[in-house]
Structure formats: C-alpha cells, structure tokens
C-alpha cells in the first residue's frame, strides 16, 4: 500500500511519517510505503509521471496550490481514493467535505486521531472494486489485486509474481504458454510485455530506456530487440491518459 504525505513544513511532514509508521506497526499483515512531498508541485510532478497512491494525506495551507485544490486534482484522476486532510485551520472543513475527504485532522496532530483516520482510509482502500486474480502459493490459492502487482517473471517454467508490498509468490507453470498462464494480466491495458519472460505494470515503471525498464523496486526488465518503439508508444499513451485524468 502506497501512502503519499504532502506538507510544506518539514517538522509536520516528519511527524506525520512517524505517526503512519506507528499505525502500520500496529497493523499486522499490512505493509505500507510512505512517500513524502514537501510541496504540491512535487506531488503533482510524481502524478504526471504516472505515479499513483492508495491513500493521500494533505496539508491545506500550502504555497502555490492549497490542499483543497490539490485534492480536487487528485479526485479527477481517481474519484474514490481516500484523502485525509491535516491542517492548522478549521475553516476549510466544508471544502474538505465537498471532495469527500475521509478525515480532517487539526494540528498539532493527535496520534489516535491520525490512526482512526488511517483505519477508515485503509478500510475504504481494501473494499474498492479491484480486479483480482488467483495465484497458487504453495498448497494455497492467494488472491492478488492487479493494481498491486508490479510484474510477473517467467523463468524455466517458474512464474514469480512480485507485489508492491514486497511479497514474492512463486509457482510452477504446469502447461501452456506464459501468456495463457497469467490470464487477465496479459489482457490488462495497464500491463506490457517488453520481453517474452515478463509482464509489467506500467504504473510501477520508474524509468524507461531504449533497451531496458527500471521498475519501482529497482528491478531491470529487458526490452526485446525491435519492441522498443511499441513499448515507448504504449507507455507514453498511458502517461498521457493518467495526466489527462488529473486535469493537467
């Protein structure tokens, strides 16, 4: 689970990060990664590059762009993602209600109030409609949401599913092609096959080069000879669609 925190005050940013880490520690089985943004512009740049998050915590009183306007932009790209406001002013509560924020926490932040808002946001996150595939994990079947899947690697008839929370699920392909084995992954418009051994989720691409792709976890994915133009075209179209969705 990816959590974005945007606040132009370094001390408040650090306190929020610490509070989120404490909440995650109290949530066994929930893995999260917090990314800090010291300005709305920094967060906007990340979203323009195709980044996305599962929960947003936003300060309201910020230079350049206030948190309410930033929240509206986020809403254009994702109408259901949980947004929590953290602010030193109470006069914007009605505006926050207008974009359906799940929390409105006054500063200085109370750890219990923050945890309660995060719990509400997390509950909404896991109940959102998501496309889920079933992946065999040993003798069990594990549900995997496509939006949380970074990539699938096929090596010597073994398939490795790498998830955004750091988990790896490995199983043996019993027959048929790699494409047929991954099923909905191969059919999803958010996944690319840059090489015969990989399907990758475009929203987790960190960098795209002429001969390889770097994923958010640092993994280098090769691009097969002759596929670079198609990969670049599809990824740029994906970024344009994402950026257009946010109204930029």
* Cα–Cα distance, 8 to 103 (Å, whole number): 19
When pLDDT is cut at 50, 70 and 90, the band that residue 240 belongs to is confident
* Cα–Cα distance, 132 to 148 (Å, whole number): 10
Residues 170, 65 share a domain: no
Structural domains counted in the chain: 2
Residues 235, 142 share a domain: yes
- pLDDT, one tens digit per residue, over 49-103 is 877 899 999 999 998 889 999 999 998 888 889 999 998 877 767 677 778 889 8
Query: How would you classify residue 16: left for phi > 0, otherwise alpha for psi between -120 and 50, otherwise beta?
Result: alpha
Residues 236, 184 share a domain: yes
Mean pLDDT for the stretch of residues 179-195: 91
pLDDT of 247 strictly over 60: no
Residues 137, 123 share a domain: no
pLDDT of 16 strictly over 80: yes
Domain hosting 182: range is: 132-245
Residues 183, 89 share a domain: no
Residues 115, 36 share a domain: yes
What mean pLDDT value characterizes the chain?
89
User: CA distances (Å), 171 to each of 152, 156, 175, 210, in order?
Assistant: 11, 11, 12, 31
What is the model's pLDDT at position 128? Answer: 66
Q: What is the CATH number of the domain that holds 228?
A: 2.40.50.1020
Cβ neighbors of 17 (< 8 A, separation 6 or more) are 5, 34, 36
Q: Give the angle subtended at the CA of 90 by the CAs of 71 and 125, to the nearest 5°.
A: 40
When pLDDT is cut at 50, 70 and 90, the band that residue 28 belongs to is confident
What is the model's pLDDT at position 245? Answer: 56
Residues 166, 199 share a domain: yes
Q: What is the CATH number of the domain that holds 116?
A: 3.40.50.2300
pLDDT of 140 strictly over 90: no
Residues 119, 7 share a domain: yes
User: CA distances (Å), 247 to each of 36, 78, 208, 243, 244, in order?
Assistant: 22, 11, 24, 7, 5
Residue with tokens 């987790």: 204
Domain boundary among 102, 127, 152: 127
Residue with tokens 């590059």: 49
Bigger pLDDT: 81 vs 173: 81
Task: Give 207's DSSP letter.
Answer: E
Residues 116, 142 share a domain: no
83, containing H or E segment: strand 83-87
Residues 119, 35 share a domain: yes
Percent of the chain with pLDDT over 70: 95
pLDDT of 222 strictly over 70: yes
* Cα–Cα distance, 109 to 81 (Å, whole number): 22
**What DSSP string runs through 109-165?**
PPHHHHHHHHHHHHHHHHHS---EEEEEETTEEEEEEGGGEEEEEEETTEEEEEETT
């Amino acid at each position: 689970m990816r959590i974005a925190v945007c606040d132009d005050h370094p001390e408040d940013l650090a306190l929020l990060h610490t509070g989120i880490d404490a909440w995650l520690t109290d949530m066994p089985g929930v893995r999260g990664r917090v990314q800090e943004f010291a300005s709305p512009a920094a967060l906007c740049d990340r979203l323009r590059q195709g980044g996305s998050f599962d929960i947003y915590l936003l300060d309201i009183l910020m230079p350049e762009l206030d948190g309410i306007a930033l929240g509206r932009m986020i809403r254009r790209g994702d109408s259901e993602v949980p947004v929590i406001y953290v602010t030193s002013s109470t006069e914007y509560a009605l505006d926050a209600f207008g974009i359906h924020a799940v929390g409105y926490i006054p500063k200085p932040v109370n750890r219990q109030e923050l945890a309660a808002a995060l719990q509400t946001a997390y509950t909404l996150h896991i109940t959102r409609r998501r496309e889920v595939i079933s992946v065999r994990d040993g003798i069990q079947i594990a549900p995997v949401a496509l939006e949380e899947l970074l990539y699938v690697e096929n090596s010597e008839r073994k398939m490795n599913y790498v998830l955004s929370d750091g988990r790896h699920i490995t199983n043996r392909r019993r027959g048929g092609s790699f494409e047929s084995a991954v099923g909905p992954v191969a059919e999803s418009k958010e996944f690319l096959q840059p090489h015969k051994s990989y399907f990758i989720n475009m929203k987790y691409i960190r960098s795209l080069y002429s001969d390889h792709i770097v994923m958010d976890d640092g993994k280098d994915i090769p691009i097969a000879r002759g596929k670079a133009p198609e990969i670049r075209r599809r990824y740029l179209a994906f970024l344009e669609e994402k950026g257009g969705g946010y109204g930029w």
